[in-house]
Amino acid sequence: MQIHQYDTVIVGAGGAGMRAAIESTQRGRTAVLTKLYPTRSHTGAAQGGMCAALANVEEDNWEWHTFDTVKGGDYLVDQDAAEIMCKEAIDAVLDLEKMGLPFSRTDQGRIDQRRFGGHSRNHGEAPVRRSCYAADRTGHMILQTLFQNCVKHGVEFFNEFYVLDLLMNEGKTAGVVAYELATGEIHVFQAKAVVFASGGTGKMFKVTSNAHTLTGDGQAVAYRRGLPLEDMEFFQFHPTGIWRMGILLTEGARGEGGILRNKDGERFMERYAPVMKDLASRDVCSRAIYSEIREGRGCGPDGDHVYLDLTHLPPEQLDAKLPDITEFARTYLGIEPYTDPIPIQPTAHYGMGGIPTNVEGEVLRNNTDIVPGLYAAGEVACVSVHGANRLGTNSLLDINVFGRRAGIAAAEYADNHDYVELPADPGKLVQDLVDGLRESTGTESVSQIRKELQESMDTNASVYRTGDTLKQAVADIAGLRERYKNVAIQDKGMRYNTDLLEAVELGNLLDLAEVLVVSALAREESRGGHFREDFPKRDDVKFMQHTMAYQEVAEDGTTSIRLDYKPVVQTRYQPMERKY
Amino acid sequence: MSTPTVEKHSAALDAAEADGTQLITVTLRIRRFNPEEHPDPVWVDYQLQMDPKERVLDALNKVKWEQDGTLTYRRSCAHGICGSDAMRINGRNRLACKTLLKDVNPEKPITIEAIKGLAVLKDLIVDMDPFFQAYKDVMPFLITKGNEPTRERLQSQEDRERFDDTTKCILCAACTSSCPVFWNDGQYFGPAAIVNAHRFIFDSRDEGAEQRLEILNDRDGVWRCRTTFNCSEACPRGIEVTKAIQEVKRALVTRRF
């Protein structure tokens, strides 16, 4: 076991982690621990853009953006955080441009902007051009630009290091424990400040836009150390994933004029969202698609999908603005989007919930108190700027605004504090975990349990939920968790043992899926991405509050979930009925 | 108002929507290497039932998840964006997640091995550190002088277009590890590093071109390129890699960029 010491340790090297690292490296000794080479992170898969009220192409201001964010989140957004994000969005975009990001440009050479779902002029009057973009590769450009700037600033990366435990002593942050993929060795990183920026957990679903690696590792580690997870029942299903594969096709396609159509060729969104139509928020579009399918207007032999139609757009426009997604249609479906509509279905995309933080990125241990020295930013965290449903482009904004804030706050904290003493035998939990898996003689397979988890989640905890489906998911997950205790792996080696890590990741997914469905079962209302057919209305009296889920461990080692609730921060917007 | 536009289906759309139950037997012939177990690599065949429209990565996953958990490779996004899974498939560098089985002649065994020119560490995993070192050596970040503007730097659409192709690079190493010069001399920067230098040399906002050109004027720089076009063929993002290298060579001669 090796022991390292750094002022600040950042866990994860996607957009939030690298944005934080650029700040903290300039202020103190920083290590970035990442299970992937930084440029493999899923920030790179984001496509459509990053909204900021630059007003480069039409009138706009950050207050309208804030309103859209609060409304898009179905009033579960903490409005103070949304104000900060939308105000700082402008500098966040300009900072990226100065770092070298090659944005698409207007005729005047300024950063171009386009329409995006839920983003409107003057509180919902009409769609507004707010999304700053680089073709349909905005996430790729952000990831590359941040990595380039990490190279420039000499950020120290530990590539293919999996963080499997968080160390605390008397309630303060002491460091993390990581498993080195190349050697199987355990490393303890003592740190004054730790920033979790390890991304989301979409792989608990079968049809998802998420990478294989998005297994909620940071959330699971924090949760097992007694920290709460906030609003985990709110999971976003992006309306336009490639049918059955789930590969993302950007909302920017509809921002450029693309239309959703059912089997009759009807532009059905006109019935669901008369003003914003195809650019209504994602939860609204995804529910509309499934309503069309359920009512027999789905496309294809089984009527189980609808079309994203780009055929009326000029090929030059598709080539210039949507080159990657049109190539995906060609590569994976063998169709030509110039002339054929693209079969799509909603795809599990983004967790609005996560490790609760305040606007400085400090992690909360309960409704009011922070964990000294611990920070989180990006999809792993819940500030909450996305509330019950995230607006398109606001995730790229979130990682830049709150990644930066967390990086600065962590480095400043480290500058003013000493190391906290490591707990006794700091690597024990991780050593026991990996030894247990290596030595297991069980009979259950990782892939079989994962497959059953994903199928249950797709069936029971997707766009439409009921008490019955959620109870089924709770029961399914309980059974799978029991079987997981008897899981075994085939690779017993030390070197690049990805078999072992897939088993660890499955354990994370199971814990987080349980939190999701238990939180969802308790929320007897419909709000944003959480839609209960048995409670189809929003209930602001009972449920305009954040869910806080804690793991409780009994004396015999069995675990259960305790739910608590936290008030929503309201500043200027009173809840209204949500129409698009 | 609704405008029916999808009355007539093309054959391609019908095929895309057809149920994927037409499974075929596929043989993956994989070059396995695990120095913990044996000092030499060995070819192992795996047979499996697959839909030919599935990806080579799907087939590898099926082997790992259902037949042999020790099979080791890198993967993440599974749709050609993250650059994790470059490998040699039937002798050609490709991304496993962007290659469909039907496109690599699944009637015969499909050979899969690690990319060449970088040390193999286990099965399909290679040591990427030399690759990323060459990238870092070309100063792959915007270099500017003087005070920063308060708003964005202006850039015309033409100037933005000038380096668009090389911004697409995902650092998968398919190009560099297809280059015969790189196979023989690991000190050659390789195509990917030059592509990333190109991305900044031809960016109208950048003022570091002279420094980068000096680096690439080195004996291990652009002049080692023998214009075999392997890199352009290998690039899963369709970047005209050889053209980019030629443009850097020309910039070195003319000092115009």
- Rg (Cα) of chain B, in Å, rounded? 22
The CA-to-CA distance between both ends of chain A, in Å, stands at 56
Which pLDDT score is estimated for A314? 98
- CA proximity to A457, closest of A210, A199, A164, A163: A210
Nearest CB neighbour to A491, from listed B53, B69, B139: B69
Residue A97 C-alpha, separation from nearest chain B C-alpha, in angstroms: 6
Which pLDDT score is estimated for B6? 53
What is the rounded CA–CA span in Å between residue A446 and residue A487? 7
Whether the per-residue pLDDT at B1 is higher than 70: the answer is: no
The encoded tokens of residue A504 equal 């660890």
- CA proximity to A217, closest of A266, A176, A164, A175: A164
Q: Is any Cβ of chain B less than 8 angstroms from the Cβ of A436?
A: no
Q: Is any Cβ of chain B less than 8 angstroms from the Cβ of A57?
A: no
What is the rounded CA–CA span in Å between residue B177 and residue B87? 9
Q: Do A267 and B3 touch (CB under 8 A)?
A: yes
**Residues near A326 by beta carbon (within 8 Å), at least 6 away in sequence:** A310, A318, A319, A337, A338
Q: Half-sphere exposure of residue A448, counting CA atoms within 13 Å on the CB side?
A: 13
The encoded tokens of residue A153 equal 């600033």
Identity (one letter) of the amino acid at A273?
A
Q: Is any Cβ of chain B less than 8 angstroms from the Cβ of A567?
A: no
Q: Do B17 and A299 touch (CB under 8 A)?
A: yes
Which pLDDT score is estimated for A410? 98
- CA proximity to B59, closest of B91, B85, B33: B85
What is the rounded CA–CA span in Å between residue A411 and residue A26? 9
What is the rounded CA–CA span in Å between residue A282 and residue A392? 8
- CA proximity to A422, closest of A230, A173, A65, A87: A173
Q: Do A36 and B84 touch (CB under 8 A)?
A: yes
Contacts 24+ apart (CB under 8 A), A469-473: A470/A517, A470/A520, A470/A521, A471/A521, A473/A513, A473/A517
Contacts of B128 in chain A (CB under 8 A): 37
Contacts of B76 in chain A (CB under 8 A): 36, 40, 42, 211-213
Contacts of B13 in chain A (CB under 8 A): 335, 340-341, 343
Q: Do B81 and A45 touch (CB under 8 A)?
A: yes
Average confidence (pLDDT) over B129-137: 97
- CA proximity to A1, closest of A422, A421, A374, A417: A422
What is the rounded CA–CA span in Å between residue B14 and residue B5? 15
| CA distances from residue A303 to A321, A415, B124 in whole angstroms, order as listed | 30, 60, 40
A146 touches A155 (CB < 8 A): no
Q: Is any Cβ of chain B less than 8 angstroms from the Cβ of A104?
A: yes
Across A143-223, where does the E strand assignment appear? 156-159, 161-169, 172-180, 186-196
What is the rounded CA–CA span in Å between residue B221 and residue A301? 56
Residues 485-514 of chain A whose Cβ lies under 8 A from any Cβ of chain B? 489-491, 493-499
Q: Do B168 and A137 touch (CB under 8 A)?
A: yes
What's phi and psi for A553, nearest 5 deg?
Answer: -110, 120
A308 touches A341 (CB < 8 A): yes
Nearest CB neighbour to B5, from listed A104, A134, A312: A312
Residues 342-361 of chain A whose Cβ lies under 8 A from any Cβ of chain B? 343
Is the peptide bond prior to A395 cis by the omega test (within 30 degrees of 0)?
Answer: no
Nearest CB neighbour to A343, from listed B16, B34, B205: B16
Using DSSP's 3-state secondary structure scheme, residue A214 falls into coil
Average confidence (pLDDT) over B181-206: 96
Whether the per-residue pLDDT at B2 is higher than 80: the answer is: no
Residue B3 C-alpha, separation from nearest chain A C-alpha, in angstroms: 6
Q: Do A151 and B141 touch (CB under 8 A)?
A: yes
**Pairs across A and B, CB distance < 8 A:** 204
Whether the per-residue pLDDT at B3 is higher than 50: the answer is: no
Q: Do B16 and A334 touch (CB under 8 A)?
A: yes
**Residues near A546 by beta carbon (within 8 Å), at least 6 away in sequence:** A76, A230, A231, A356, A382, A384, A565, A566, A567, A568
Place of tokens 């992937």: A36
What is the rounded CA–CA span in Å between residue B176 and residue B191? 5
Whether the per-residue pLDDT at B8 is higher than 80: the answer is: no
Which pLDDT score is estimated for B22? 86
- CA proximity to A166, closest of A199, A191, A185: A191
pLDDT per residue, tens digit, chain A (580 aa), is 999 999 999 999 999 999 999 999 999 999 999 999 999 999 999 999 999 999 999 999 999 999 999 999 999 999 999 999 999 999 999 999 999 999 999 999 999 999 999 999 999 999 999 999 999 999 999 999 999 999 999 999 999 999 999 999 999 999 999 999 999 999 999 999 999 999 999 999 999 999 999 999 999 999 999 999 999 999 999 999 999 999 999 999 999 999 999 999 999 999 999 999 999 999 999 999 999 999 999 999 999 999 999 999 999 999 999 999 999 999 999 999 999 999 999 999 999 999 999 999 999 999 999 999 999 999 999 999 999 999 999 999 999 999 999 999 999 999 999 999 999 999 999 999 999 999 999 999 999 999 999 999 999 999 999 999 999 999 999 999 999 999 999 999 999 999 999 999 999 999 999 999 999 999 999 999 999 999 999 999 999 999 999 999 999 999 999 999 999 999 999 999 999 9
Helix residue spans in A101-201 (DSSP H):
138-153
Pair type for strands A2-11 and A186-196? parallel
Nearest CB neighbour to B10, from listed A328, A339, A494: A339
Residue of B nearest to A488 (CA): B69
- CA proximity to A217, closest of A551, A518, A517, A509: A509
**Residues near B12 by beta carbon (within 8 Å), at least 6 away in sequence:** A333, A334, A335, A336, A340
What's phi and psi for A188, nearest 5 deg?
Answer: -100, 125
DSSP H or E stretch at residue A475: helix A467-484
Using DSSP's 3-state secondary structure scheme, residue A297 falls into coil
Q: Is any Cβ of chain B less than 8 angstroms from the Cβ of A311?
A: yes
Contacts of B160 in chain A (CB under 8 A): 102-105
- CA proximity to B140, closest of A152, A158, A32, A153: A152
Residue B213 C-alpha, separation from nearest chain A C-alpha, in angstroms: 18
Average confidence (pLDDT) over B187-210: 97
The CA-to-CA distance between both ends of chain B, in Å, stands at 51
Residues of A known to be catalytic: 282
Pair type for strands A370-376 and A186-196? parallel
Per residue, the 3-state secondary structure of A217-275, as one string, reads HHHHHHHHCCCCEECCCCEEEEEEEECCCCCECCCHHHHCCCEEECCCCCCCHHHHCCC
Q: Do A496 and B125 touch (CB under 8 A)?
A: yes
Residue of A nearest to B207 (CA): A100
What is the rounded CA–CA span in Å between residue A257 and residue A271? 17
